[in-house]
Structure 1
Amino acid sequence: MAPHGSPDGTNVQSAKKEESDNNLTKSKTNEASQPEASGTISQIEISQKISNFLSVVFVPPLLTLFSFAVVAFRFAPENGEPWLMLLYTSLFTVVIPLLLYVILRKKGHISDRDARDRHERHLLYTISSVVIFFGYFVIPWGMHSQEIKFLYIIYLYNLIFLFCINLFWKISAHLMGAGGMVGTLVFSFGLWGWASLPVVLSLGWARYTLKCHTLAQMILGAAFGIANTLLLFYYLPFLQLT
């Protein structure tokens, strides 16, 4: 056994002191890193909240309502009733499909808010298409200009188009709705309509952050929405629909 004042005793005390210092350093390091980790979690939570907010604000039915409002008032004839026309079109393209979504959600046919499983979208798209098709023969189109009827047909076409793709793959309905809105604004206001593209970009960021779609699904959704809408707006007048 080493005496109290021997070198061996001194080495033992030094080792204990060094170990104690190391533990204290580690403790301080962990304490210092906790706020940083907490800050990282907060940033993720903030991104999630912003993404959820954008997904709700720019939900397809609301984008549709906005598009119909723009066309109803932008192309309203002098003796037209844009508010009444907006009411008719919104009933079949916004109100009834939204009620249908709520019913299917409560019945368990749609398991989550975003209907991430594409198979759960089939019934919603099918019934909504039938409702909108029926509405075409009910709405009194004669009280307004042709443009509002064209938009109604375009909306039905885009929904059927979305349904057909959804049978095999999934593209973003949010981005297709936003693309349709951009196409409508470009048709209504010319180049100024492209100023609405930030809506598409912000919504794309939100849907990607929420991991609802791949980048390809979002790009194609927006591209088809814009292209289909613009092409049909310029092509439908040649059919001379009455």
Structure 2
Amino acid sequence: MSKNARLVSEVFNPLINPIVTFLVLAMDDPAQPTAKIFLNWAVAIAFASGLIFLYIAYLKQKRVIESTELVIREQRISPLTFAVLSYALGFGVLTLLNAPWLMRGLMFCYATNTMVVLMITRRWKISIHTTGIAGPLVALTYQFGWMLLPLYILIPIVGLSRVKMHRHTPLQVVAGGILGVAMTIVQLYYFR
């Protein structure tokens, strides 16, 4: 396994991506007071990263899963189910806080995209990493425009890292990327 592939996989981990993405989205509204920006971001990362990470760590400690990387397809079901619930609750809280529409929209997309990934995962191991980089890229493109298009090269880079690590087949990483881009584009278009 290549050190570079592992590094890419860790840097663009599906639980790391929301931390950066929601920070950028929260800070892009200068009319918001700093405390409100921080609150929106803290809520978003709690539900999109923190709680899910803690749940996966708990499952690992209890030996329900072999690895926090969720290598075994069948061991992804419980964490994905928990993630759907966490994202849905996060969407509800962000809505109550009247967070910017794109933060709420992305959290909604996380919930629905993950639900689809969960359904697929019951039969096939689709790449959560490529889905997890594609969705945030679409949200950031809605916010900042087409100038972010070159960043979409991250999808095949992340996908290649997963293939090189023998975590997925090329088809699984392509399917994850397509799912993440297509579903997020459609949902955010109608969400606004």
Normalised to the residue count of structure 1, the TM-score between the two structures is 0.73
Deviation at 1:161, TM superposition (A): 1.2
Quick one: which amino acid aligns to residue 236 of structure 1? F
Is 1:193 paired with 2:171?
no
Pairing 1:111-126 to 2, within 5 Å after superposition: 111-126=66-81
Partner residue in 2 for 1:13: none
CA contact (8 A) 1:55 1:206 kept: yes
Partner residue in 2 for 1:33: none
Quick one: which amino acid aligns to residue 117 of structure 1? I
Whole-angstrom CA distance in 1 between matches of 2:98 and 2:140: 22
Is 1:54 paired with 2:8?
yes
SS of 2:2's equivalent in the other structure is helix
Whole-angstrom CA distance in 1 between matches of 2:189 and 2:108: 13
Is 1:151 paired with 2:79?
no
CA contact (8 A) 1:114 1:212 kept: no
Deviation at 1:171, TM superposition (A): 0.7
CA contact (8 A) 2:85 2:111 kept: no
Is 1:130 paired with 2:88?
no
Give 2:161's match in structure 1, choosing from 197, 206, 222: 206
The CA deviation string for residues 194-238 of structure 1, in whole angstroms up to 9 with x for no partner, is 12123222211211111100000000101111111111111112x
Is 1:88 paired with 2:47?
no
Unaligned runs of 5+ in 2: none
Normalised to the residue count of structure 2, the TM-score between the two structures is 0.91
Give 1:69's match in structure 2, choosing from 6, 9, 23: 23
Deviation at 1:185, TM superposition (A): 2.0
Whole-angstrom CA distance in 2 between matches of 1:141 and 1:194: 32
Partner residue in 1 for 2:32: 79
The CA deviation string for residues 118-163 of structure 1, in whole angstroms up to 9 with x for no partner, is 1100011112222332333334644432221111111111111110
CA contact (8 A) 2:56 2:68 kept: no
Whole-angstrom CA distance in 2 between matches of 1:137 and 1:194: 30
Partner residue in 2 for 1:219: 174
Whole-angstrom CA distance in 2 between matches of 1:144 and 1:134: 14
Q: Which structure carries more relative contact order (alpha carbon 8 Å, separation 6+)? A: 2
Q: Number of aligned residue pairs: give it.
A: 190
Pairing 1:12-51 to 2, within 5 Å after superposition: 48-51=2-5
CA-based RMSD of the aligned residues comes to 1.7
**Cα 1:165–1:79 shift into 2, 3 Å:** same
CA contact (8 A) 2:131 2:181 kept: yes
Unaligned runs of 5+ in 1: 1-46, 238-242
Quick one: which amino acid aligns to residue 16 of structure 2? L
CA contact (8 A) 2:105 2:188 kept: yes
